[in-house]
Structure 1
Amino acid sequence: MLINLVDQDTYAASGPPHEQLRWLREHDPVHQHPGEPGFWAVTRYDDVVHVSRNSELFSSARRLAIFDEVPEDQLALQQLMMLNQDPPEHTRRRSLVNRGFTPRTINALEEHIRTICDDLLDNCSGEVDFVTEVAAPLPLYVICELLGAPVADRDKIFNWSNRMIGADDPDYATSPEEGGAAAMEVYAYANQLAAQRKAAPRDDIVSKLIQPDENGQTLDENEFDLFVLLLVVAGNETTRNAASGGMLALFEHPEQWDRLAADPALARTAADEIVRWVSPVNLFRRTATSDVILGGQRIRENDKVVVFYGSANRDASVFTDPETFDIGRDPNPHIGFGGGGAHFCLGNHLAKLELRILFEQLAIRFPKLRQTGEARRLRSNFINGIKSLPVRLT
Structure 2
Amino acid sequence: MNVLGQVKTSVVDPVRSRVEQVFPIDVLVKAAHAYNRTRRLVDKSERSPIFVERPIPDGPDIALADIDMSNPFLYRQGQWESHFKRLRDESPVHFQDKGPFGPFWSVTRYEDILAMDKNHQVFSAEPSIIIGKFPAGFDIKMFIAMDPPKHDAQRAAVQGVVAPKNLKELEGLIRSRVQEVLDGLPVGEPFNWVDRVSIELTGRMLATLLDYPYELRRELTVISDLASGVPAATGGTSDLDEVFTSCIPILRRVMHLWGDKKARLAAGEEPGYDLISLLLADESTKDMMERRPMEFLGNFLLLVIGGNDTTRNSMSGGVYALNKFPDEFAKLKANPKLIPNMVSEIIRWQTPLAYMARRAKEDTVVGGQQIKKGEKLLMWYASGNRDERHFDSPEKLIIDRKNARNHIAFGFGVHRCMGNRLAELQLRILWEELLERFDDIKVLEEPEIVQSTFVRGYSKLMVELTKRQA
TM-score normalized by the length of structure 1: 0.91
Residues 53-106 of structure 1 show CA distances to partners (whole Å, capped at 9, x for unaligned) of 2222111114x11111246x558x42x211211111101111111122211111
Range with bigger deviation, 329-338 or 173-182: 173-182
2:183 pairs, out of 119, 122, 127, with: 122
1:237 Cα deviation from its structure 2 partner:
1.5
Give 1:226 shift. Answer: 2.9
Candidates 126, 129, 143, aligned match of 1:61: 126
Kept in 1, the 8 Å contact 2:341–2:399? The answer is yes
**3-state SS in 2 of match to 1:360:** helix
Does structure 2 retain, via aligned residues, the 8 Å contact 1:30–1:294?
A: yes
Paired with 1:70 and 1:173, the residues of 2 have a C-alpha distance of 14
SS at 2:345's partner residue?
Answer: helix
Greater shift, 155-164 or 122-131, is seen at 155-164
1:173–1:321 distance in 2 versus 1, CA, 3 Å: closer
Whether the aligned pair in 1 keeps the contact of 2:358 and 2:377 (CA below 8 Å) is yes
Counterpart amino acid of residue 263 in structure 2: A
User: After superposition, where does 1:307-318 map in structure 2 within 5 Å?
Assistant: 307-318=379-390
Q: Distance in 2 between matches of 1:208 and 1:29?
A: 44
Mapped to 2, the partners of 1:150 and 1:178 lie a distance apart of 21
Residues 1:84 and 2:151 are matched in the alignment: no
CA contact (8 A) 1:51 1:58 kept: yes
**Superposition deviation, residue 190 in structure 1:** 2.4
8 Å CA contact retained: 1:191, 1:225: no
Q: Does 1:42 align with 2:42?
A: no
Greater C-alpha Rg: 2
Closer/same/farther in 2, CA of residues 146 and 69 from structure 1, 3 Å limit: closer
Counterpart amino acid of 1:262? A
Worse-matched range after superposition: 174-183 or 190-199:
174-183
Query: Which of 266, 272, 278 is matched with 1:203 structurally?
Result: 272
Give distance in 2, aligned partners of 1:31 and 1:149.
43
Structure 2 equivalent of residue 297 of structure 1: 369
Distance, in Å, in 2 between the alignment partners of 1:225 and 1:193 is 14
Aligned to 2:358: 286
- 2:162 corresponds to 1:101: yes
In structure 2, what is the Cα distance between the partners aligned to 1:166 and 1:363?
34
CA distance in 2, matches of 1:186, 1:207: 14
Deviation of 1:12 after TM superposition, in Å, equals: 2.0
Tell me, yes or no, if structure 1 residue 131 matches structure 2 residue 203. no
In the other structure, the counterpart of 1:193 is: 257
Code of the residue aligned with 1:44 in structure 2: it is R
- The one-letter amino acid of 2:75's match is Y
Closer/same/farther in 2, CA of residues 302 and 252 from structure 1, 3 Å limit: same
Equivalence map 1:355-366=2 (5 Å) = 355-366=427-438
- Aligned residue-pair number: 384
Q: Which runs of 5+ in 2 are unaligned?
A: 1-59
TM-score by length of 2: 0.77
Give the counterpart of 1:111 among 168, 172, 180. 172
- Residue 183 to residue 284, structure 1, CA distance change in 2 (3 Å): farther
Q: 1:121-140 CA distances to partner (integer Å, 9 max, x unpaired)?
A: 11101321110000111111
The worse-fitting range, judged by mean Cα deviation, of 152-161 and 380-389 is 152-161
Tell me if structure 2 keeps the 8 A contact 1:57–1:290: yes
1:1-394 aligned at under 5 Å gives the runs: 1=60, 2=62, 3-14=67-78, 17-36=80-99, 37-62=102-127, 64-70=128-134, 74=137, 77-78=139-140, 80-125=141-186, 126-168=189-231, 173-200=237-264, 203-206=272-275, 208-213=277-282, 216-219=283-286, 220-221=288-289, 222=293, 223-332=295-404, 333-338=406-411, 340-394=412-466
With a CA cutoff of 8 Å and minimum separation of 6, indicate the structure with the bigger relative contact order: 1
Deviation at 1:177, TM superposition (A): 3.0
In the alignment, structure 1 segments of 5+ residues that lack a partner are none
Say if 1:150 and 1:212 are closer, same or farther in 2 by CA, change over 3 A: closer
